[in-house]
Amino acid sequence: MSRPSISEVSALIADLANYRKHRVGDLADLMSRKADLLERIAADSPGDIEAAEVAAIARDRADALKGAD
């Protein structure tokens, strides 16, 4: 698993802003993408406990949103 690129992070931020402003897109999908990126960051930083915890919380929330559909 590779660390996310700046363009991947920028694209997610732009999509999140678009969702917030115009309600365009699927929130569950956006949160899943966010969790994916955070998991990749955590995997690239094996000694960073906080990064792993944040990624796990993001994944739990994304999965909960998928289950709410």
Quick: pLDDT tens for 24-35: 999 999 999 999
Please indicate, yes or no, if residue 60 is contained in any of the structural domains: yes
Residue 15, in any domain of the structure = yes
Q: Residue 25 in 3-state DSSP? A: coil
In the predicted model, is pLDDT for residue 68 greater than 80? Answer: no
Would you state the pLDDT for residue 23? 96
Domain presence at residue 1: no
Whole-prediction pTM: 0.90
- Number of domain units in the chain: 1
Find the length of the chain. 69
Q: Cβ(9)–Cβ(46) under 8 Å?
A: no
Q: What is the pLDDT of residue 69?
A: 64
For residues 42 and 48, the answer to whether their CB atoms sit within 8 Å is yes
34-60 pLDDT, tens digit each: 999 999 999 999 999 999 999 999 999
For residue 42, what are the domain limits?
6-68
